Amino acid sequence: MAEKKEDWAAIARNPKFEELHKRKAYFLFGWWIFSNIYYFLLPIGAGAAPGLFSVKLIGNINFGYLFALSQFFVSWAIAIYYLVWANKVSDRLTRELIDELKLQ
Amino acid sequence: MKRLIVTLTLALTLGLIIVHLSAPGMVLAGPESAISTAIVAQAAPAKAAAPTKVEAHKGITITMFIIIVLITMYIVFWAAKRTKTTADFYAARGAITGWQNGWAIAGDYMSAASFLGIAGLICLYGYDGFMYSVGWLVAYVTVLLIVAEPCRNAGKYTMGDILAFRSSPKPVRAAAAFSTVCVSIFYLTAQMVGAGMLMKLLLGIPFKFAIAGVGGLMIVYVALGGMIATTWVQIIKAGLLMFGAILLSLLVAAKAGFNPLQFFHDVATNTQISEWVRVQLLKDAVAQPGFDYGQRFLEPGLLLKDVWDQISLGMALVLGTAGMPHILMRFFTVPTAQAARKSVIIAMFLIGTFYILTTLLGFGSAIHVTPQISWAVDKGGNMSNLLLAQMLGNSFYPLAGDLLLAFLCAVAFATILAVVSGLVLAASAAISHDIYVSLIKGGKADQHEQVRAARITSICVGAIAVIIGILAEGQNVAHLVALAFAVASAGNLPTVVLSLFWRKMNTAGIVAGLLVGTVLSIVLVMVSPNMMYPKMIAAGDQKIYTGLEKKQAGGATLTDTEKAEMTRANASYEKNKDGTSFIFGLDKPLFGLKNPGIVSIPAGFLAAIIFSLLFRSKKEEDAFDELYVRQNTGVGMAKAMEH
């Protein structure tokens, strides 16, 4: 299949594309770093502050259990937030770019 | 021809199981043995003679196995008819929906170790088991944010496709295939040995037959049905696994009146758990006054004691999952980046829910089965979910426990099949697509020949996995899972991420990153505490022996167990005193951590960066714009799909 040769360097310099990849990079790496810091607090905290992890909060349920459980909800929240953000921002910018350049 | 192969393998697999069942000396375990286990567990766990194995009802279990095999075989036939091109074989034509792929990712990822192992760790060690499970889900944040969509947009069938996008294909594909095959074989061996042990423990099927049976089925699924069949096997497995986990959790929750506070109160006040923590885990011969041993079970530090090892494992999980070739491959089966995104999110909810339920099952087994019995049946606690199912089921309705146990055995069986199929497919794709077609044939092979090569490769990979699995009987293979994740995180992930996001990345960097990450991870594990160090074993034996000898010299009479222990220690000392570790011939570990990630991941990144900068390539840097635009926008992908 003969494909039209795109001028990729020109697309890469297109302001729309620059906006798209900058916003994506900030969002994706930013939340990725947040998620990792939050995750590594768990093993580090359990090793460094076992006293804090043992504090009973509700009945026999302690801080450590709730903190470990919160990891699941934080990961899910990031996933959902990303889904919403991508629909609103990156998918829209991508569509606009493709329409503007009449790309396939 | 195809039908002939299927029929033969099917017949052989079933034949092996059935022949063995009807073999003389094999007594079918009736329900009475199962119920007695449950009664023992309920009545007085510590005092009564603890059961030493879990007996599944063979008739019911085998029937369920056969039902699963028949359903999946039907799918394989259906898929085989639709598998004509390489796009069909490797990527299910890119026609899998986001929902389907989400379930398939969950099915591909959750192994028997997740289903049986983590609940067992919680049952034996409490909180630390739960903490261990967290990293397996958090890893998907990396998959979702960093690799899923770019890989969908830039790749075709394998990791080698992404890496070779703008670099010299031959060395890059060869290195990518090397690391893919390493990861797959390590993970596959661990799964195969696990399968063999599980079937032996549950049904009394000999190790070799169990592995040959699982291997035979896996070869048929992959060789005939390719990605379409593998995907559906994984979806079915994920459904069965979630159903089983939810059902068992409901039973556990019902016992605590659906009240989480009551549930944790039950854990903290259980006398068996308190005693287990005091005697087995903390080694307090006399209870310290005022110390709440039951509550201690809900606090960290009973299993995971080395923080650095945990951080290292965490790094390998968080970065390794995103570098697992069989997971990466799943993103080539969906049509768009949006579908890839949706599928990861669905998989995250399934996997996360499963691990949260696992907590319930783990603590539930600690309350109802007790750690003592779980440990007596299997030292890793792997049988605790199954013991729990049998016990709780029978306490609600006679025989329900046997049905539930049989069902969970079948789920474990389906779980193993789905994971090994995914791995065999990934390894075969790397060999046939990256090595055979691209390297040997220079890309000049027609569709028919490529699909045939892929099928033959998957048969070979499957056969090799069976042979390695049989040879590894009785070996400790747990560290192979850690090794697979270490290689994926230190070799695959740095090169994939840098190729997609860093302009200066090039052929030299990719090859160096893959080789350094892979080889360093393997070497570090081989000199780590995971390996056997005969001199250390001998030193331990010598201590036991001299201790008992002193006791004897002091005039005390030894019990029979002590005498036997003395003989064993002496023999073991003689055997091990001059030995050294495998290959490297060490007396003691050189590297103190069980997980090499904390060293090998930075090394993989550094090697990739340094070699890229040393051997700059203008051509490859110029081609970055195309890759970067494509991976961000998906432009050009629709066309690539039509080929």
| Contact yes or no for A72 and B140 at CB 8 A | no
Residues of chain B with Cβ-Cβ distance to A28 below 8 Å are 145-146
SS3 label, residue B440: helix
Closest chain B CA to residue A61 = B264
| Contact yes or no for A39 and B135 at CB 8 A | yes
**In terms of C-beta distances under 8 Å and separation of at least 24 residues, what long-range contacts does A7-12 make, across chains too?**
A8/B625, A8/B626, A8/B629, A9/B622, A9/B625, A11/A97, A11/A101, A11/A103, A11/B625, A11/B629, A11/B635, A12/B625, A12/B628, A12/B629
Residues of chain A with Cβ-Cβ distance to B634 below 8 Å are 94
**pLDDT tens per residue, range B135-193:** 999 999 999 999 999 999 988 899 999 999 999 989 999 999 999 999 999 999 988 98
Q: Where in chain A are the domains?
A: 10-101
Residue B328 pLDDT > 70, yes or no?
yes
CA distance B572 to chain A (A): 36
**pLDDT tens per residue, range B152-161:** 998 889 999 9
Q: What's the Cα-to-Cα distance from B77 to each of B80, B228, B469, rounded to whole Å? A: 5, 11, 27
Cβ neighbours of residue B30 closer than 8 Å, sequence gap 6 or more: B57
Average pLDDT in chain B: 86
Closest chain A CA to residue B633 = A94
Average pLDDT over residues B87-102: 93
Residues of chain A with Cβ-Cβ distance to B314 below 8 Å are 39-40, 43
Position B39 scores a pLDDT of 33
**pLDDT tens per residue, range B486-543:** 999 999 999 999 999 999 999 999 999 999 999 999 999 888 888 888 888 888 888 8
A44: contact with B, CB 8 A cutoff:
yes
Position B104 scores a pLDDT of 97
Q: Does domain B2-259+307-492 have CATH number 2.40.50?
A: no
Closest CB to B145: pick one of A1, A6, A82. A82
Q: Where in chain B are the domains?
A: 2-259+307-492, 544-576
Would you list the DSSP string of A36-51? Answer: HHHHHHHHHHHHH-HH
| Contact yes or no for A61 and B267 at CB 8 A | no
